[in-house]
Amino acid sequence: MKIELASSYGFCFGVKRAIKIAESAGNAATIGPLIHNNEEINRLAINFNVKTLNGINELSDERKAIIRTHGITKDDLAKLKQSSIDVIDATCPFVTKPQQICERMSEEGYDIVIFGDENHPEVKGVKSYSYGRVFVVLEENELDDIKLKQKVAVVSQTTRKVEKFMQIVNYLMLRVKEVRVFNTICNATFENQEAAKELSKRADIMIIIGGKNSSNTKQLYLISKNFCKDSYLIESEDEIDKEWFKNKELCGISAGASTPDWIIQKVVNKIEKI
Amino acid sequence: MKIELASSYGFCFGVKRAIKIAESAGNAATIGPLIHNNEEINRLAINFNVKTLNGINELSDERKAIIRTHGITKDDLAKLKQSSIDVIDATCPFVTKPQQICERMSEEGYDIVIFGDENHPEVKGVKSYSYGRVFVVLEENELDDIKLKQKVAVVSQTTRKVEKFMQIVNYLMLRVKEVRVFNTICNATFENQEAAKELSKRADIMIIIGGKNSSNTKQLYLISKNFCKDSYLIESEDEIDKEWFKNKELCGISAGASTPDWIIQKVVNKIEKI
């Protein structure tokens, strides 16, 4: 069986940057997991004493707080900055962008639509920057019963699929006079998605490696599954089942934006031995 | 054979308004045809002495100039206003809108994309309101070789199909960070189009009545043709050919936004006699 890695996969700019920041800070706490990858979080805890808290209320004697790649809410950030703790911002610049847009657009009187998962920390953060009305949706029909203003600004969670974003924009074009579209979907996500799509069309089996709470990893899995029914989402090599590979000729591999290379390598090594 | 009129067809708000304005002005000249319907233009000339000039350079001793529904260029309007002539503006308010948007968006530093036909007087007028860069396209790939700014504002000729407008917006979403979409497609056009679509799915033959230089009439014809291969575009009852109706059970009829009821009635009368 041949193994082929997607032409683009794994760590994005924002994740690489956040890990570097965490490593050089050391002895710090992150508010929520720095990135959506448990193995990497453990590595940072063990090697650099960077621990993960669930929220700012868990802070006690820490001297440094690192803001996760997904950002935190405006209120939490303000509280941290008012406290005596050192705030080290590892928010991905591609996430800071929609936060700023939300703030500016609500100042300018737009209704705001965020295409994303309202339970995702990135979306919670972005949403918190809006002063006015803001609607978080995954499907356009969630807006059916809402009387929208005639001017609506739209942003997307950075890790969403652009096709669905377009559907939401098209829906809004029919409903309101002005739709101000900010394509805040991250290129890295897009590139990983396109590469996974291309590979999954040819592969007999697809292995997607990444955190099961990672939005972009789940998207990669869904895209693969669409073209290659034998697609599997795993967090580490331990989940691999030999049975999956029977009679398969080409095994495609991709990984989410927060999956470190060392985990990918372990998976490849294990598959090579099958 | 049964004859059925589309649930929405013919004169739109802007055309009704312009005819009323021209009738009450009387003894005037319009700069370009007031509306895209020769028969109605003739009626206004004969009954109200409203003549049609090709451009402002043809004005001589007229005391009143009527601006056509499609609007004229900003320069021409300025010249008219500077002259001693009375300027009576019959520009459709739905056309004034994209003119204002173009002006404002170019002031705010956006590249402007107009979805429309660059030879259509409405589009020429709208385009003339932009100070900066402006691109008129019918197909998104016409923008392929243009290095666009990261902020683009988009308007549409009022009589275009919204599906194609969406395609252009979707294309732009992939190319630039901010797409500011103003859906300037006129509802009347949209309603006539939806009604023609619905009827043409059921009809054995479709007759579309309107000016052959009328953008919205051509759109109606193309939509009909898509669902009913025996679709015909005519300007008056004289063009009707009995042969068309052989073995047909349902004849659908629609008419462009500048087709007066009296022309539609003549067509219906003639078909009824077949």
Under an 8 A CB cutoff, do A181 and B178 touch?
yes
Distance CA A68, CA A33 (A): 6
Distance CA A34, CA A268 (A): 25
Query: What is the tens place of the pLDDT at every residue in A199-249?
Result: 999 999 999 999 988 888 999 999 999 999 999 999 999 999 999 999 999
Q: Hey, is A220 helix, strand or coil?
A: helix
Under an 8 A CB cutoff, do A181 and B183 touch?
no
- The sheet with strand A151-156 has its strands ordered as A134-137, A111-115, A151-156, A178-182, B178-182, B151-156, B111-115, B134-137
Nearest partner of A177 among A111, A100, A249, judged by Cα? A111
**What does the pLDDT read at residue A62?**
85
CATH 3.40.50.2000 fits A2-9+187-273, yes or no: no
For helices B38-48 and B13-25, give the axis angle rounded to 10 degrees: 20
A181 touches chain B (CB under 8 A): yes
A152 touches chain B (CB under 8 A): no
Query: What is the tens place of the pLDDT at every residue in B223-238?
Result: 999 999 999 999 999 9
Under an 8 A CB cutoff, do A169 and B182 touch?
no
Of the pLDDT bands very low, low, confident and very high (cuts 50, 70, 90), residue A179 is: very high
How far, in Å, are A138, A193, A212, A231, B156 from residue A36 at the CA level? Answer: 20, 17, 8, 21, 43
Distance CA A121, CA A87 (A): 18
Average pLDDT in the B120-143 region? Answer: 97
Residue A11 has pLDDT above 90, yes or no: no
**What does the pLDDT read at residue A187?**
82
Question: What is the ipTM score, two decimals?
Answer: 0.82
Residue A134 has pLDDT above 90, yes or no: yes
Q: What percent of chain A has pLDDT over 70?
A: 100
Nearest partner of A57 among A69, A73, A44, judged by Cα? A73
- The sheet with strand B205-209 has its strands ordered as B2-5, B250-255, B205-209, B231-234
Query: What is the tens place of the pLDDT at every residue in B9-53?
Result: 998 889 999 999 999 999 999 999 999 888 899 999 999 999 999
**What does the pLDDT read at residue B203?**
97
Query: What is the tens place of the pLDDT at every residue in B150-173?
Result: 999 999 999 898 999 999 999 999
Ranges assigned E (strand) in chain B: 2-5, 28-31, 50-53, 64-67, 86-89, 111-115, 134-137, 151-156, 178-182, 205-209, 231-234, 250-255
> Strand A64-67 to strand A28-31: parallel, antiparallel, or no bridges (unpaired)?
parallel
> Strand B111-115 to strand A151-156: parallel, antiparallel, or no bridges (unpaired)?
unpaired
Locate A105 and state its tokens.
Answer: 């657009």
Residues of A in contact with B180 (CB under 8 A): 178-181
Domain extent listing, chain B? 2-9+187-273, 13-90, 94-181
Q: Do domains B2-9+187-273 and B94-181 have the same CATH topology?
A: yes
Helical H segments across A176-211, by residue range: 187-202
Query: Which residue of chain B has the CA closest to A190?
Result: B174
Query: What is the tens place of the pLDDT at every residue in A15-62?
Result: 999 999 999 999 999 999 999 888 899 999 999 999 999 999 998 888
Give the contacts of A108 (CB within 8 A, at least 6 positions apart). Answer: none
Phi, psi angle pair for B247, to nearest 5°: 60, 20
- Bridge partners of A263, per DSSP, are none
Average pLDDT in the A151-166 region? Answer: 94
Q: What percent of chain B has pLDDT over 90?
A: 85
Residue A159 has pLDDT above 90, yes or no: no
Nearest partner of B61 among B83, B33, B76, judged by Cα? B83
Distance CA B127, CA B157 (A): 10
**What does the pLDDT read at residue A171?**
97
Q: For the domain A94-181, what is the CATH code?
A: 3.40.1010.20
**What does the pLDDT read at residue A190?**
81
The class level of CATH for A13-90 reads alpha beta
Average pLDDT in the B174-182 region? Answer: 97
Under an 8 A CB cutoff, do B183 and A170 touch?
no
Catalytic residue flag (residue B103): no
Count of Cβ atoms closer than 10 Å to residue B80 Cβ: 18
**What does the pLDDT read at residue A36?**
86
Nearest partner of B245 among B263, B264, B227, B232, judged by Cα? B232
Distance from CA of A196 to the nearest CA of B (A): 18
